[in-house]
A and B are shown apart, each in its own frame.
Chain A
Amino acid sequence: MRSAVVLFPGSNRDHDMVKALHDVTGNRPTVVWHQDATLPDVDLIVLPGGFSYGDYLRCGAIAARSPAMLDVARKAKAGVRVLGVCNGFQILTEAGLLPGALMRNAHLRFVCKEVKLRVINNATDFTRAYAKGQVIRCPVAHHDGNYFADPETLARLEDDGRVAFRYAEGTNPNGSINDIAGILNEAGNVLGMMPHPENLIEALHGGLDGRGLFESVIQAVAA
């Protein structure tokens, strides 16, 4: 499986993502600078976590308008899988590739801890290696992860099975509406999520629960 990681000024989880992709897929991803107007042809494009452009204006707002993102949007429309984690999720909403917005955490504090995620839809390219309803451990680290969407958008997401992950009961760390932790686009090839699956892929780091997401994409590519 071939993958690419887009690097923005202020990205800081790109190394973790590159390592996770390398370890789980066996292939080292291509790292693409955000000013590059064309991404390589790959099976998965990843927007990593961090603080692109120092969160100026709004989290992800300026990164979403970078040259690489125009090509990400083109490729997403053509069906290429795109994963945005944390700041990458914020960038995807700002780019209009996912609906809604990520707002300041309801309690106004930066949250850095492990949470539990429930797999709501396991019939996706990103979750097929998990069981439906399975609860996995996953770290979060963010200040603006409070997902918001208007009632019509929210109803569409819920009715169409586009909520991929929810914070398990009682563990919502940021006030996110309907405990939403990760959502898909309409076609199902774009996933945005606040938690960091790339940080739970080695036994030495305390668990392997994040591997399933990358293994899901490998399975989807092979299918």
Chain B
Amino acid sequence: MKVRVTITLKAGVLDPQGKAIEGALRGLGFAGIDGARQGKIVDLALAETDPDKARATVADMCEKLLANTVIENYDIAVLG
């Protein structure tokens, strides 16, 4: 079973990398950018076949390692 974890910075946490990306996009002439935030994706291949169990296991992985919940949110998507 493939599971995708998307990790993003919480609202209100300064994201200097996102700011730099935003500035570079403006520099390229893209108009109307209201913000850019950078995150990361972790794709997991699991032996588990039950989506609910897979989701619960990955949530545990996020809490223990994949995300730093002081500054980051995570979203889990079961890709099948």
Interface residue ranges, A against B (CB under 8 Å): 57-58, 61-62, 65, 93-94, 99-101, 103-108, 146, 148-150, 175
Contacts and interface: CB of A to CB of B under 8 A. Distances in A.
Contacts of B14: 103, 106, 146, 148, 175
Nearest to A64: B65
B16 A105 contact: yes
B16 A107 contact: yes
Contacts of A107: 16
Interface of B: 13-14, 16-17, 20, 64-66, 68, 70-71
Contacts of B68: 58, 61, 94, 101
29 contacts: A57-B66, A61-B65, A61-B68, A62-B65, A65-B65, A93-B70, A94-B68, A99-B70, A100-B70, A101-B68, A101-B70, A101-B71, A103-B13, A103-B14, A103-B16, A103-B71, A104-B16, A104-B17, A105-B16, A106-B14, A106-B16, A108-B17, A108-B20, A148-B13, A148-B70, A148-B71, A149-B70, A150-B70, A175-B16
A103 B71 CA distance: 9
| Chain B binding surface SS class | helix
Contacts of A94: 68
Shortest 4 CB-CB contacts between residues of A and residues of B: A101-B70, A101-B71, A108-B16, A104-B16
Contacts of A93: 70
A61 B65 CA distance: 7
A205 to B, nearest CB: 32
A33 to B, nearest CB: 21
Nearest to B65: A65
Nearest to B42: A57
A185 B71 CA distance: 19
Given A105-B16, A106-B16, 6 more contacts: A57-B65, A65-B65, A101-B70, A103-B13, A103-B16, A104-B17
